[in-house]
Structure 1
Amino acid sequence: MPELLEKSKLNIAMFPWIAMGHITPFIHVANELAKRGHSVSILIPKKAILQLGHNNLYPHLIKFHIVSVPQVEGLPPGAETASDIDVSPFNPLALAFQAMSTQVNTLLCTLKPDIVFYDFAHWIPNLAAKIGFKTVFYNVICAAFWAITIVPARHFPKDRVLTEQELSQPPKGYPSSTVVLRRHEAWTLSTLPLECGDTTFDVVITAAMQGCDAIANRSCRELEGPMCDYLSAQYNKPVLLSGPVLPEAPVGKLEEKWDTWLSKFKPKSVIYCAFGSQLKMQKNQFQELVLGFEMTGLPFFIALPKPKGAKSIEEALPEGFLERVGGRGVVYGGWVQQTHILNHPSVGCFVSHCGYGSMWESLLSDSQIVLVPYLADQILNTRMLTEELKVAVEVQRGAMGWFSKEDLCKAIKFVMDEDSKLGNMVKHNHEKWKETFLSPGFMDNYMDNFIEQLYQLLV
C-alpha cells in the first residue's frame, strides 16, 4: 500500500503477558511492523529476552526494555515467565504481573508511544488516558475462547460461579455449533491462568477488552471471520486482523545433533510431539504417552518437560522403554527448534496440544496433524481443525482429559497409514488450506491493512 510510505512511522510499545506463547507472537508482529519501518519497544523480563531475543530480525528498530518481576507470595525464586511455574487455578505470577504496572508506567512516560499493544495488562488503558496513547488488545489465541468463556461471564453477577451446563452452552448469537466446549470439558476452565486473590480471569480480560481502543486478533477472516464479528458486536469496537504473523522461514539451522538423528529416517516417517513449555503431565499419563509412541512402531521425537514429581525425563520413562525402542525414539526434556523440526524432510506427523502458535505452525507445515488438547482454548482450536477445516484428528479421551496408549497409537496410525481414507482426506484438506495461507501476498496484505487501521486509530 504506497500511501503508507507518505505517513509518519508509528512508534509502538508492547507489553504482553509473560508467557513464551504470548511473547513470541508479539515479537513476530513487531518484526512485521519494523519490516515496514515502524519502531517497536517490547517490555518483557530479562529471562524472556535471553530466550527469545534471537527472534528480533530488526534490532535497529525493535528494542527490548527489561521489566523486573517482583517477588510475591507463592512465586518460586527466579521465576520470570509462565514456563517457570506449573499451571494451576491460583497463579502467583499473575500477582507479580499486576505489580509491574509502576515500572511499565515509567517506561511508557519515557517512550511516549503512539500505540500500546497489550493482552492481560487490563490497567494499560488507565495509563493511556494519563500519558496519551491509543491502546490495542492484541489477542494471540483463538477469538472463540473469549467469545465462549468471557462473554457469558459478563452477563452474570461477579459473585456467582457458572455451572458446567452454562459454561458448555454457547452464548446467544455465538456463530459456531462445532467450535464449542462440551459439557464434560468445562472442567478445563478451572485451569485458567490469571486467578489471583480477588481478581479473576474473566474480570481481567473483560476490563482489558472493554478499555482498549481496538481489539486485534492474530488471525484472518478465512479462519475466524464470524467469530471476530461477534466479538466486535459484543464489545462495540473495531476488531483488527493482523493475519497469523508467522516467519516465512525459520531463522538459522537446526541443531546439528537433531538434524543428524532425523536424517537417519525415511522422508515423512518421523512423528514429532510437543505440548508447549507450560504443560507438565502427571507421571502415569506421561508414561502412557510414550508407550503409545512405542506401539506405533514408527520413529519418534518427543520434546516435553519432565513430568510432575520426576527428577528427570529419564527417571520418568517406563521400565525397559529405552532398550525396547533403541535408536528409533528420542524423549527430550529441553527446548528444541520446533519450526526447524517441522520443516525437516523426515518429519511426517506432528502430535500437538494445539496451542494457537503450534496450530498455525502445523497448518503451515507438511506434516499430518494429531491433536491432544488440554486447556480450554486448545480444545476450541482442535474443534476448528478437526470439525471445521477437517485437517487433523483428535485423540479420543475420557473424563478429565485422560487418554490411553492404544487411542494415541490409533490416531497416529489413522493419519500415517498410506491406505487410510481418513489420513488421505485430512492430508488433502491440509494441503488446500496451506496453499491458501501461503499464497502470494496473503500475509502481507493482512499486515498492510492492519497498519492502515492502526493509523486510523490516531485520527
Structure 2
Amino acid sequence: MGNDQEPTMRCCQDIVMFPWFAMGHITPFLHLANKLAEKGCRIKMLLPNKAIQVIHHLNLHPHLITFHTIAVPQVEGLPLGTETASDIPISLAHLLAIAFDRTRDQFQATILHSKPDLVIYDLAHWVPALVKPLGIKSMSYTVVSAAGIAILLVPARNITKDKPITVAELSVPPPGYPSSTVVLRGHEVQSLLFVAQPFGDNGVTFYEKVTTSMHQCDALAIRTCSEIEANLCDYIGSQYGKPVFLTGPVLPELSTNMPLEDRWATWLGGFEPGSVVFCAFGSQLVLDKDQFQKLVLGFELSGLPFLVALKPPTGSSTVEEALPAGFCERVKGRGMVWGGWVQQLVILSHPSVGCFVSHCGFGSMWEALMCDCQIVLMPHLGDQILNTRLLADELKVAVEVERDENGWTSKESISKSIKLVMDKDSEVASTIKTNHTRYRQTLTTQGLMSRYIDKFFQNIQDLVRQK
C-alpha cells in the first residue's frame, strides 16, 4: 500500500463579513460573528471607523473577530463625516448607499489579501461577481424578517426601471405568497414604494440591489426561525432557487455582567410589577415634533407609568425642549422621557415593565417576542410595517395603533391601544397574551437557539466544501 494520505477536507475557517452601514445591520452581523467564533471561526468585519467605535465592546472573541476599517467615500450631498445611517436622516440614505457601493475597491483589496473561505454580506450586490472567480463562496444574510423579503423583494414582483411598481400592484401579495392574512393599507404602500427608487451607484434601485444580491450568491441566510416563519422561508428559497439557512434570532444573552443602570433600576423599582409602559423606536428613527408630542401626550392620557426613550424630534436639540407645555409637571413621578441610549433588552426584562411600545424594527421584534411584556406596535418604515403585519395579523401577539387613511395617528388612539393591552379584563389583551406566551415559551426552549447555530455552522461547512 502507498503512503498517500487522504486530502484534507476543506472547511470554513476564515470568514469576511460586510454588512450595510447601518447599526441595525452591523449589530446582528456581530452577534452572529460571536456565535461562529465560539465554533472556532476567524472573522474579519469590514466596517466604518465610527461603527467600530460603537460596537467594539460587543466583540466577545477579539482573538478571533477583528475589525478592518473601511473609509467611506465622500458623495455630493452627503454630510461631511457621514459613515453610518445613524449620522443622517432617512431621506439621505440613498446617498450613503452610493458611498457604500464605492467601497468596492477597498473590499476587493481586502479579499485578495485575506483569501477567506466565505463572505457574508447583505446589500453589496456586487460581492458574488468579485469573489466567485477566486473560488470563494458568498452568502446573502437577511437581518430583516422573512416576511419583509417574501412580500416585497422576490422575483415574482418583477420590478424594473422601465416598469416601476404601482400602488395597486404593491397592495396585494406577490404570486405564490403563502398567506392570505397580510393586507397592506394605502398609507403603508406609499412608504414601500422606495424599493423602486435609486439606492446605490449608477442608479441601481433598492429592489435590484437586494434581488441581485440574493440571485447571485451561493446560499441565502435569514435571521429567523422556522417556528415563526417556516412557510415564508420556503417561499423565498423557491423564488430564488437557493438553499436557505436559518440562524435563529441570534440575540445577545442577558447575564449578570449586564446590570441595569442605577438610574433606571431605581426609577423602575418604584412601580408595581407589570405596570410600566416602555417605548423605544431604535437608533435611527426621528419623529417630527407634532408626531413626538402626540406620542408623549398619548402616554400621559393612558394614566399609566411610562418610560419613553426617543431621539430628539426634527428641529430640536433635546427631547426636553420639544415636550408639550406643562407636560413635565403633569406626569411628574410617573412619566419619564429620555433622549439618550438605554439598555432596551435589560429594561424589557425588568419586572415592573408590562408593555413595550415599539416601531417593530427586526431586532426589537425579536426582543419583544422573547420578553414577557404586552406588545403595542407603531411602525414607520418599510420593513417595520411588514414586521408588524407578521406580529399583529399572522401571529396575533400584538396590537397595532390605529391610523387614519393618511397614516396619521392621535394621542387618543395611542392611549387606547396601550390601555387595551394593559386591561386585564380585555378579551383582546387576554388573546394576545396567550398567543405571545405560547411563542415565547417555544422560542426560549432550552437549547433551541444553540441548535440553530449548530445547524447553521454545519450548513456553511457543507457550502464551502462544495465545488
**Fold shared by both chains (TM-score > 0.5):** yes
> How far, CA to CA, are the matches of 2:367 and 2:141 in structure 1?
19
Q: 1:366 to 1:217 in 2, by over 3 A?
A: same
Matched, 1:189 2:192: yes
Partner of 1:145: 148
Matched, 1:218 2:220: no
Per-residue CA deviations over 1:312-348 (Å, capped at 9, x if unaligned) read 2111111111111112111111111111111112111
Partner of 1:3: none
> How far did residue 154 of structure 1 move?
5.2
> How far, CA to CA, are the matches of 1:133 and 1:94 in structure 2?
24
Partner of 1:27: 30
Moved more, 190-199 or 348-357: 190-199
Matched, 1:411 2:417: yes
> How far did residue 53 of structure 1 move?
1.5
Partner of 1:170: 173
> How far did residue 414 of structure 1 move?
0.9
Per-residue CA deviations over 1:57-79 (Å, capped at 9, x if unaligned) read 11111111111211111111222
Any idea what SS the aligned residue of 2:356 has?
strand
Partner of 1:380: 386
Any idea what SS the aligned residue of 1:116 has?
strand
Structure 2 unmatched ranges of 5 or more: 1-8
Q: Which amino acid aligns with 2:38?
A: K
> How far, CA to CA, are the matches of 1:116 and 1:323 in structure 2?
54
> How far, CA to CA, are the matches of 2:372 and 2:258 in structure 1?
20
Aligned residue pairs, count: 454
Q: Which amino acid aligns with 1:168?
A: S
Partner of 2:432: 426
Matched, 1:296 2:302: yes
Any idea what SS the aligned residue of 1:237 has?
coil
Moved more, 201-210 or 179-188: 179-188
Matched, 1:268 2:271: no
Q: Which amino acid aligns with 1:379?
A: I
Query: Given the two structures, how large is their TM-score scaled by the length of structure 1?
Result: 0.95
> How far, CA to CA, are the matches of 2:371 and 2:317 in structure 1?
34
For the 8 Å contact 2:145–2:387, the answer to whether it is kept is yes
Q: Which amino acid aligns with 1:382?
A: T
Matched, 1:49 2:52: yes
Matched, 1:233 2:208: no
Moved more, 348-357 or 143-152: 143-152
> How far did residue 136 of structure 1 move?
0.5
> How far did residue 375 of structure 1 move?
1.5
Partner of 1:60: 63
Matching of residues 93-172 of structure 1 within 5 Å: 93-151=96-154, 155-172=158-175
Matching of residues 263-412 of structure 1 within 5 Å: 263-412=269-418
> How far did residue 411 of structure 1 move?
0.5
For the 8 Å contact 1:303–1:331, the answer to whether it is kept is yes
Q: Which amino acid aligns with 1:198?
A: G
The CA RMSD measured in Å over matched residues stands at: 1.8
For the 8 Å contact 2:248–2:453, the answer to whether it is kept is yes
> How far, CA to CA, are the matches of 1:190 and 1:88 in structure 2?
14
For the 8 Å contact 1:141–1:218, the answer to whether it is kept is yes
Q: 1:224 to 1:194 in 2, by over 3 A?
A: farther
> How far did residue 400 of structure 1 move?
4.0
Per-residue CA deviations over 1:237-256 (Å, capped at 9, x if unaligned) read 11111111112315522222
Any idea what SS the aligned residue of 1:248 has?
coil
> How far, CA to CA, are the matches of 2:463 and 2:406 in structure 1?
44
For the 8 Å contact 2:85–2:93, the answer to whether it is kept is no
> How far did residue 145 of structure 1 move?
1.8
> How far, CA to CA, are the matches of 1:414 and 1:336 in structure 2?
26
> How far, CA to CA, are the matches of 1:180 and 1:457 in structure 2?
37
> How far, CA to CA, are the matches of 2:339 and 2:370 in structure 1?
25
For the 8 Å contact 1:374–1:401, the answer to whether it is kept is no
> How far, CA to CA, are the matches of 1:47 and 1:211 in structure 2?
30
